[in-house]
Amino acid sequence: MDLMNYIDGNFQAHTGEQWLDVVEPATGKQFARVPLSSPSDVDSAILAARKAQSEWGGLSHSERAGWLDIIADELESRYEDIASLESRDTGKPISLARAVDANRSVANFRFFAEMIRTHRGEVFEMADADNFVTYRPVGVGALITPWNLPLYLLSWKVAPAIGMGNTVVCKPSEMTPMTANLLMEVIDKVGLPPGVVNLVHGDGGGAGSCLVSHSDVDLVSFTGGTSTGAKVAASAAPHFKKISLELGGKNSSIVFADCDLNKTIEGVGRAAFLNQGQICLCGSRILVQDSIYDEFVEGFIDSVESLKIGDPSEDSTQLGALISSGHLKKVKEYVSIAKDEGGHFLTGGDDMEIQSSLSRDLEGGYWMAPTVIGGLSPDSRCSTEEIFGPVVTVHRFKTEEEAIEIANGTRYGLAGSVWTEDLEKGIRVAEGIRTGMVWVNTWLHRDLRTPFGGVGDSGVGREGGRWSLGFFSETLNVCVKR
């Protein structure tokens, strides 16, 4: 399948001859081609978005909310397509693609429809005057997304952006473009006014950087790696674009001796290995209180070793393949670094066993056993740098203060989890961590009204709920003297 851009309400071939193969991570085989769009394709998409903006921005909140609901209904009717394309494109288990990717993509449109429908400006009264605060569209937005949760993250941006009256140009990851294409099919089918949502395919250095640095883009919402985020910020800065950066993470799961051990093992394991550990929120450094360290590690390793790894299209599969050969290589390099740093494998670290248990079709895929490493210092590279794969490190701590100090010992600050039956302590420890989101006795339990985002190398700004509505709008205050 050769994909096309979607510009001004039409699927269009890109200008130029360059293509990139889309590879299925579970087999290592090509199954589609994605265009490497040129600067002139990006120009056309931005022009279409600019042309459509004033009419779209002039609709009422409830009219735009109505469109979001229409898109949600149509997306929902393609629920199974979303799940199977996402599973094939990313290598994730089909059960996860259904429960997380397909569900959330639909839910994002419905949630923002409801928020926007009820969104009002504010009034601040003075003794002799009234202030009326209104929220207006920013203009044309560039929405750039990564490969790990393709439609989940794209819909998280498109819905609030167009809901608040902006028009957009999307640039999905070149590695996982299939469900962005599906969203354009949906938008085309429901007849959203041309130019409101446009899509250019391509790589980061080409279409991505061209889009971000374009002088006619007013806003950039970027989710991806920290080093890419730095480039995006630098190229958006000269035009003072509104910018939101959702970047990498290296999150701690802090396990106290008074936790419910069975539930904690299950929760910490999910936080460590969901989506093969390729979620920015994954808890990849596990800090365990000294007095239960051995008991926790024994139960944890048993549960990790029982995970079923293999064909993503099978309902019972719990761990799929990593996204690409390049990424697998990077993750394995960290495993060698761990050995050099004095770490020892509590499980995993060697993929031979997996390869021999896979069917022949899957032999060319990018597989790795879930790997748990002990014996490393909490300030080692493997414990502080984002690996973004099925690799976690385990560390001991004695006191609350020590746990917080270790958790804060990275440049990232996205998420974290605390496991204890003492909820006061859980909240106290959560508040001690320099991060954007902490869960107590759970992980990735999301209320879409809450702020999402991080500090330090994890990014700038927050999205979610009213934070998204604020980011995707400009406020105007009109002060009227009585």
Among candidates 87, 106, 88, which has minimal Cα distance to 97? 87
Q: How far is the CB of 195 from ligand NAD (least distance, A)?
A: 22
* Residue of the chain from 108, 166, 167, 223 that contacts ligand NAD (CB under 6 A): 223
Q: How far is the CB of 454 from ligand NAD (least distance, A)?
A: 6
Cβ distance 282 to 271 under 8 Å? yes
Burial class (CB in 10 A: 0-12, 13-18, 19+), 359: exposed
**Binding flag, residue 244, ligand NAD (CB under 6 A):** no
Which among 117-125, 241-249, 356-364, 439-447 is the span making contact with ligand NAD, rule CB under 6 A?
241-249
**Binding flag, residue 171, ligand NAD (CB under 6 A):** yes
* Residue of the chain from 224, 343, 413, 456 that contacts ligand NAD (CB under 6 A): 224
**Binding flag, residue 247, ligand NAD (CB under 6 A):** yes
**Among the options 170, 210, 280, 282, which is catalytic?**
280
Q: Identify the residue whose tokens are 């460590």.
A: 272
Cβ proximity to ligand NAD, 247 vs 418, nearer residue: 247
Which among 168-176, 283-291, 342-350, 352-360 is the span making contact with ligand NAD, rule CB under 6 A?
168-176
Q: Identify the residue whose tokens are 């202030």.
A: 131
323: amino acid identity, one letter: I
User: Looking only at residues 367 through 386 of this chain, which bind ligand NAD when binding is defined by CB under 6 A?
Assistant: 386
How many residues make contact with ligand NAD (CB under 6 A)? 30
The DSSP code sequence of 163-190 is: HTT-EEEEE--TTS-HHHHHHHHHHHHH
Instruction: Let me know if 246 is a catalytic residue.
Output: yes
Rounded Cα gap, residues 369 and 388, in angstroms: 14
Q: Residue 99: which residues within 8 A CB-CB, separation 6 or more?
A: none
| CA 322, 326, 330, 335 torsion-angle sign | positive
**Binding flag, residue 146, ligand NAD (CB under 6 A):** yes
* Residue of the chain from 139, 195, 204, 378 that contacts ligand NAD (CB under 6 A): 204
**Binding flag, residue 246, ligand NAD (CB under 6 A):** yes
**Binding flag, residue 170, ligand NAD (CB under 6 A):** no
**Binding flag, residue 212, ligand NAD (CB under 6 A):** yes
Other C-beta atoms within 10 Å of 121: how many? Answer: 13
**Binding flag, residue 464, ligand NAD (CB under 6 A):** no
Cβ proximity to ligand NAD, 72 vs 217, nearer residue: 217
Where would I find the beta strands (DSSP E) of 184-321? 197-199, 219-223, 242-246, 251-255, 283-289
Q: Residue 354: which residues within 8 A CB-CB, separation 6 or more?
A: 309, 367, 368, 369
Q: What's 362's DSSP letter?
A: G
Q: Which value, to the nearest 10 degrees, does the dihedral of the CA atoms of residues 455, 382, 150, 430 take?
A: -40
**Among the options 24, 86, 246, 463, which is catalytic?**
246
What are 330's two structure tokens? Answer: 């990077």
Q: How far is the CB of 96 from ligand NAD (least distance, A)?
A: 15
Cβ proximity to ligand NAD, 142 vs 187, nearer residue: 142
Instruction: Let me know if 55 is a catalytic residue.
Output: no
Cβ proximity to ligand NAD, 326 vs 342, nearer residue: 326
**Binding flag, residue 320, ligand NAD (CB under 6 A):** no
State the residues that interact with ligand NAD by CB under 6 A: 144-149, 171, 173-174, 203-205, 208-209, 212, 223-225, 228, 231-232, 246-249, 280, 386, 388, 414, 459
- Among all residues, which ones are annotated catalytic? 246, 280
